[in-house]
Amino acid sequence: MDSKTSLHDSDRMSFLSTTTDDLPPPYEDLSRPPSSILTDISSATITGPTAPIPSRPFPTAFNLYYPWHGKPISRNTKFFIGEHLEQPCNAVVLGREWTGIVLTIHEGIEGDSPVIASTYVKKAWSNTSAVTLTSIVGADGHPVEHEVEMHAGFKHVSWTFSVEVSNADEKPHVEKFEWRLSHGKEVKDLDKWSWGWKLVRLDGPSISQPSASSSKRENRDHGFTSDGKEVVAVWAANSHWSKSKIGKFQFLGSGARGDLGKAWSLMAVATVLKLWQGGLSRSSGGGGFAAGGGSA
């Protein structure tokens, strides 16, 4: 499903605010029966190496975990990303500034390990957030920073960012990417019943798709949108009750191969975690993706 598909259905809109079923149970809910931890990564086809590589410093597919120990999610709560709960790769920490939530991704699993990317709100009640790639230094000697813009209309909502992409075969250049709400094939590969987000490469190579008059959306090529754009990453909320697993992420196509470079990989993960955090904030009465008070 691309950004122009109607969101009037209440069930679809509910995904924009992460549902309580997707979150760890509240502190008071001690009567809920325990559930086995779901740690299997989707069996979707992945091209290229699955372990982290220099141009993609994350596994090709990973989960977001909250190791719930009877404590509610609060300031400085630590989450983990990794292929399995028992083998986390990176810590994700939520903090707060006067403009809203600050999310940091760390190089290791400790909250005091080096920060490789962070997100923050540039201005309260704004549709613009920023991602600082603290592990990448620009020509001015400072960490690289990129803006993330929310675009909301009557029938659609999306988030866009631009970042420099690079690989061994191409000269570094800037491309634009867009997160679109989706229940398409790529998201279903992660979770059959979940709505999710797909990251679309707007400026990359396109393929010809059958015309809308002669083809249904289901007949489009896997890994491409109905308008022929490449899908380079997907995220799905975990639709099964779990004490630990919140959601699932997977790089696809050129994203999985590492063709788009380290900066893009960091942006892809940081922005989708910010999307998730925005839903978490709304469900708890806080701010949205790009606003301390909730404009998203």
pLDDT tens by residue, 267-284: 999 999 999 987 665 544
More confident residue, 209 or 55: 55
Percent of the chain with pLDDT over 90: 39
40 assigned to some structural domain:
no
**What is the mean predicted confidence (pLDDT) over 171-190?**
90
When pLDDT is cut at 50, 70 and 90, the band that residue 246 belongs to is very high
Structure tokens at 223: 């890994």
> Residue 270, class by beta-carbon neighbours within 10 Å (0-12 exposed, 13-18 middle, 19+ buried)?
buried
115 assigned to some structural domain:
yes
**What is the mean predicted confidence (pLDDT) over 49-65?**
88
Whether 228 contacts 222, CB under 8 Å: no
User: What are 167's strand-pairing partners?
Assistant: 170
At 194 the pLDDT is 77
At 195 the pLDDT is 83
Residues 168-177: pLDDT tens digits?
677 899 999 9
Q: Between vectors from CA 179 to CA 174 and to CA 181, what angle results, nearest 5°?
A: 165
Percent of the chain with pLDDT over 70: 69
4 assigned to some structural domain:
no
Distance between terminal CA atoms of the chain? Answer: 20
Q: Between vectors from CA 22 to CA 16 and to CA 28, what angle results, nearest 5°?
A: 120
pLDDT beyond 90 at 100: no
At 115 the pLDDT is 96
Q: What 3-state class would DSSP assign to 286?
A: coil
5 assigned to some structural domain:
no
pLDDT beyond 60 at 29: no
Q: Which residues make Cβ contacts (< 8 Å) with residue 231, sequence separation at least 6?
A: 186, 198, 199, 200, 201, 223, 224, 225, 252, 253
**What is the mean predicted confidence (pLDDT) over 183-203?**
88
Torsion of CA 209, 211, 216, 220, to 10 degrees: 0
35 assigned to some structural domain:
no
At 20 the pLDDT is 36
CA distance linking residue 264 with residue 225, whole number of Å: 20
More confident residue, 43 or 203: 203
pLDDT beyond 90 at 43: no
At 240 the pLDDT is 84
Place of tokens 């400790």: 110
Identify the domain containing residue 269 by its residue range.
Answer: 10-23+49-282
What is the pTM for the complete model shown?
Answer: 0.75
At 164 the pLDDT is 95
33 assigned to some structural domain:
no
CA distance linking residue 132 with residue 76, whole number of Å: 19
When the pLDDT of each residue in the chain is averaged and rounded to a whole number, the result is 76
**What is the mean predicted confidence (pLDDT) over 39-60?**
63
At 54 the pLDDT is 82
Closest listed residue to residue 40, CA positions, set 269, 234, 245, 265 = 245
Measured CA distances, 280 to 55, 93, 101, 237 (Å): 30, 13, 11, 12
160 assigned to some structural domain:
yes
211 assigned to some structural domain:
yes
When pLDDT is cut at 50, 70 and 90, the band that residue 219 belongs to is low
User: How do 157-167 and 170-182 pair as beta strands?
Assistant: antiparallel
Residues 116-170: pLDDT tens digits?
999 988 777 778 899 999 999 888 999 999 999 998 877 788 999 999 998 767 7
At 19 the pLDDT is 38
**What is the mean predicted confidence (pLDDT) over 178-201?**
88
pLDDT beyond 90 at 90: yes
Number of domains present in the structure of the chain:
1
DSSP state of 21: G
pLDDT beyond 70 at 21: no
At 209 the pLDDT is 58
When pLDDT is cut at 50, 70 and 90, the band that residue 44 belongs to is very low
Q: What 3-state class would DSSP assign to 178?
A: strand
More confident residue, 244 or 209: 244
